[in-house]
Amino acid sequence: MAVKVGDLAPDFTLPSQSGSSVSLRDFRGKKSVILYFYPKDDTPGCTAESCAFRDRYEVFQEAGAEVIGISGDSPDSHQRFANKYQLPFTLVSDTNNQVRKLYGVPATLGLLPGRVTYAIDPQGVVRHIFNSQFNFQGHVEEALKTLRDIQQSPAAS
């Protein structure tokens, strides 16, 4: 069952590139979360997407959101990737693809792990889902647009 807009985002605890555990519940009641699933560290599309999030990271922070990237790569791979491209946000390792399956992230052509971004409000509700394997910048723009909507909604105040 895929996660849909309006659903409570499923919680998870996964290791990050620093070795510490990251749980989605740690942000509940505090911040919005932009959770982006990507196929693989240090590949052209994933690098373009991650660098697009990096380049707008300050805007995400100002909007009260944390960005978390998630793929099946190891924490060591994430550390190398984050260092190489100066990624200021957290990357978590879903090595068994359990969280990817929990969220129902589809594979592209049945083979390539999908590229899907979830905008989750401070209450833990999924407010927007953007699924595009090739529109890397769209993931960032859609997430920022949703954050603006979240900030302007009466529930945010």
Q: What is the pLDDT of residues 103-157, one digit of tens each?
A: 999 987 777 899 999 999 999 999 999 999 889 889 999 999 999 998 887 654 4
Residue type for 100, please?
R
What confidence score (pLDDT) does residue 151 get? 84
- Residues known to be catalytic: 46
Question: Would residue 5 count as lying in a domain?
Answer: no
Q: Domain count of the chain?
A: 1
Question: Would residue 1 count as lying in a domain?
Answer: no
Report, as an integer, the average pLDDT of 91-100.
96
- Better-predicted residue by pLDDT, 1 or 76: 76
CATH of residue 141 = 3.40.30.10
| Position 84 confidence tier, pLDDT thresholds 50, 70, 90 | very high
Question: Would residue 8 count as lying in a domain?
Answer: no
What confidence score (pLDDT) does residue 154 get? 62
